Amino acid sequence: MKPPKSLPPADTRLSILDASEYLFANEGYRGTTLRAITKRAGVNLAAVNYHFGSKETLLEEVIKRRIEPLNMERRRRIQEVQDLASKKGKKPVVKSVLQAFITPTLEFRDSEPGARDFITFIGRAFADPDDSVRKVFVRFMHPIFELMHRTMCLALPDYPADLVFWRLQFCMGSLFTPCISAAIFTWIHQMSQTWMQHPLMLLLFLM
Amino acid sequence: MKPPKSLPPADTRLSILDASEYLFANEGYRGTTLRAITKRAGVNLAAVNYHFGSKETLLEEVIKRRIEPLNMERRRRIQEVQDLASKKGKKPVVKSVLQAFITPTLEFRDSEPGARDFITFIGRAFADPDDSVRKVFVRFMHPIFELMHRTMCLALPDYPADLVFWRLQFCMGSLFTPCISAAIFTWIHQMSQTWMQHPLMLLLFLM
DNA sequence: CATTATTTCAAACATCTGTTTTAATCATCT
DNA sequence: AGATGATTAAAACAGATGTTTGAAATAATG
């Protein structure tokens, strides 16, 4: 009897991405060593540099994999809200614009294992003093954030643009900040309300 | 003519604390090396281990120096609000309880150079994945947070305690989270309002 | 002043980190 | 099957980091 065929070689690249996502979220970028990643992924230490070139490129790939489809969906929905409104010759509705951004986030969060880790990671990245982490996030988020800002300014033509900017900043920040984002989700379940009833979301733009 | 007396030996311990505070806030605990600290403080590398024993003890001292007097003042004011209310046989007023906690924070923030760094550091510590950082903060904040919780429950006897807990969590978190806390302070200046007008503070407990 | 204790200093140490190297292994194609 | 290219493996490397050491300098004490 032949020895059993060796296990189908699990996609090394993918296990590295998954392991990194988990560890980056729970230990931070700096706090995660390549050795911890490769051990968790069950691959050789050199695999990271072979497949990604460097730790920093790995970070970029970890982020890109999740954020690109997420932002694509966000962009689609925001555009939809904007188009629908302009077709009727009206302003976009604040609540719909917010919804267009946030709903995909919440759906994504529950869509697959690892997504929750990623959201945690994003939250920490906002407060991360390490440039190499924050800058990558900002680079990926800047375009969609600008779109949000423009659309929100359309929705609130009487508000000065920089005020809208700050409210948006606040709103986005609180959505991802770990302790707060956790509170939001707890709230949703506890109150059996939609996130839209959340005072922060409601009031940041509606008062 | 004698050579000028060498500069009065700047208190090594103190310059290390100041340098650490600045660097921890701007580069993070993990991102700050002992060599960077001692260079900024203008002291020898070995001075940290001589005066503090280890990097972790240094972290503890950096935090303790600021947070102990701050929490003392908070405790005093919260107690005051509570005592004044019970003397009149009334419930404490939500707004006053919040104020008792937050006003010292704002006053402290502008009280001396380095204080702002410390607030930044606190904000990042809340999201820090590094246990050694988060745990120290939690240890120092737990008692005062419990007092806040108890007092707030007195002020809102009809609210379930865990709901009050979450709102408090949310409120405290957003006060220190860097991106949000920055927005709050900008807001204050921009609107020429007191922080109490901030929708977050107002509404977390009043709606 | 002499002695003792405290503080500073430069150098070294052990460990850990990201990365590179070189050889072995595996898969694919002719 | 044999040649070729891609992937994996173990080991080593260079640099950085927290810590320790032992001697020098300074301050305090008798």
B:6-25 Cβ neighbours of strand C under 7 Å:
9, 12
* Residue A138 banded pLDDT, cuts 50, 70, 90: confident
pLDDT tens digit string along A28-85? 999 999 999 999 999 999 999 999 999 999 999 999 999 999 999 999 999 999 999 9
- Considering Cα of B61, then B63, then B66, then B72, what sign does the dihedral take? negative
Q: What is the mean pLDDT of residues B121-143?
A: 85
Measure Cα distances from A8 to A19, B38, B72 in Å: 19, 52, 62
> Which residues have CB under 8 Å from A201's CB, separation 6+?
A98, A102, A171, A195
Q: Which nucleotides of D are covered by protein (CB under 7 A)?
A: 7-12, 16-22, 26-27
- Per-residue confidence (pLDDT) for residue B22, from 0 to 100: 96
Closest residue, chain A, to B166 (C-alpha): A183
Best CA proximity match to B125, nearest among B114, B116, B135, B110: B135
Which positions in chain A have a beta carbon within 8 angstroms of at least one beta carbon in chain B?
A: 25-28, 30-31, 123-124, 126-130, 163, 166, 169-170, 173-174, 177-180, 183-184, 186-187, 190, 199-200, 203-204, 207
pLDDT over 90 at B76, yes or no: yes
Q: What is the mean pLDDT of residues B91-102?
A: 85
Closest residue, chain B, to A125 (C-alpha): B127
- Per-residue confidence (pLDDT) for residue B105, from 0 to 100: 83
* Residue B113 banded pLDDT, cuts 50, 70, 90: confident
pLDDT tens digit string along B149-206? 999 999 989 888 877 777 777 667 666 665 555 555 544 444 434 444 444 443 344 4
Give nearest nucleotide to A35 (CA–C1').
C17
Closest residue, chain B, to A30 (C-alpha): B30
Contact A181, B174 (CB under 8 A): no
Highest mean pLDDT among A31-35, A123-127, A167-171, A172-176: A31-35
Distance B39 CA to C7 C1' (A): 18
Disruptive mutation site among A120, A135, A177 for chain B (greatest number of B CBs within 10 Å): A177
Q: Would you mind telling me the total number of residues written for chain A in this entry?
A: 207
Quote the CA–CA distance of A52 and B177 in Å, as a whole number: 33
pLDDT tens digit string along A180-190? 555 555 544 44
Q: At what angle do helices B178-191 and A161-176 cross, to 10 degrees?
A: 150
Q: What is the mean pLDDT of residues B45-70?
A: 96
* Residue B104 banded pLDDT, cuts 50, 70, 90: confident
Question: What does DSSP assign to residue A5?
Answer: P
pLDDT over 80 at B73, yes or no: yes
Measure Cα distances from B196 to B103, B110, B199, B200 in Å: 10, 18, 8, 9
**A184 interaction partners in chain B (CB closer than 8 Å):** 170
Best CA proximity match to B207, nearest among A172, A197, A171, A186: A197
In this structure, what is the dihedral angle of CA atoms A169, A172, A178, A183, given to the nearest 10 degrees? Answer: 110
Quote the CA–CA distance of A77 and A80 in Å, as a whole number: 5
Percent of chain A surpassing pLDDT 70: 77
* Contact: B180, A163; criterion CB under 8 Å: no
Which positions in chain B have a beta carbon within 8 angstroms of at least one beta carbon in chain A?
A: 25-28, 30-31, 123-124, 126-130, 163, 166, 169-170, 173-174, 177-180, 183-184, 186-187, 190, 199-200, 203-204, 207
Structure tokens at A46: 């050199």
**B123 interaction partners in chain A (CB closer than 8 Å):** 127
Best CA proximity match to A13, nearest among A58, A64, A68: A58
Best CA proximity match to B83, nearest among B147, B169, B158: B147
**A128 interaction partners in chain B (CB closer than 8 Å):** 28, 124, 127
As a whole number, the mean pLDDT across chain B is: 81
- Per-residue confidence (pLDDT) for residue A170, from 0 to 100: 65
Q: What is the mean pLDDT of residues A145-167?
A: 86
Other CB atoms within a 10 A radius of the CB of residue B179 amount to 17
pLDDT over 90 at B46, yes or no: yes
Quote the CA–CA distance of A124 and B84 in Å, as a whole number: 40
Residue type at position B85: A
pLDDT over 50 at B4, yes or no: no
Structure tokens at A194: 């939609």
Q: Kindly determine whether the C-beta of residue B57 is less than 7 Å away from any atom of nucleic acid strand C.
A: no
Best CA proximity match to B174, nearest among B201, B151, B150: B201
Q: What is the pTM of this model?
A: 0.82
pLDDT over 80 at B40, yes or no: yes
Quote the CA–CA distance of A78 and A143 in Å, as a whole number: 13
Q: What is the mean pLDDT of residues A105-115?
A: 85
- Among the partner-chain residues A170, A183, A207, the one whose CB lies closest to the CB of B183 is A170
Q: What is the mean pLDDT of residues B73-96?
A: 94
* Residue A151 banded pLDDT, cuts 50, 70, 90: very high
Quote the CA–CA distance of A187 and A182 in Å, as a whole number: 8
Report which of residues A154 and A199 the model is more confident about.
A154
**Torsion-angle region of residue B18: left (phi > 0), alpha (psi -120 to 50) or beta?**
alpha
Structure tokens at A176: 């991802």
pLDDT over 60 at B140, yes or no: yes
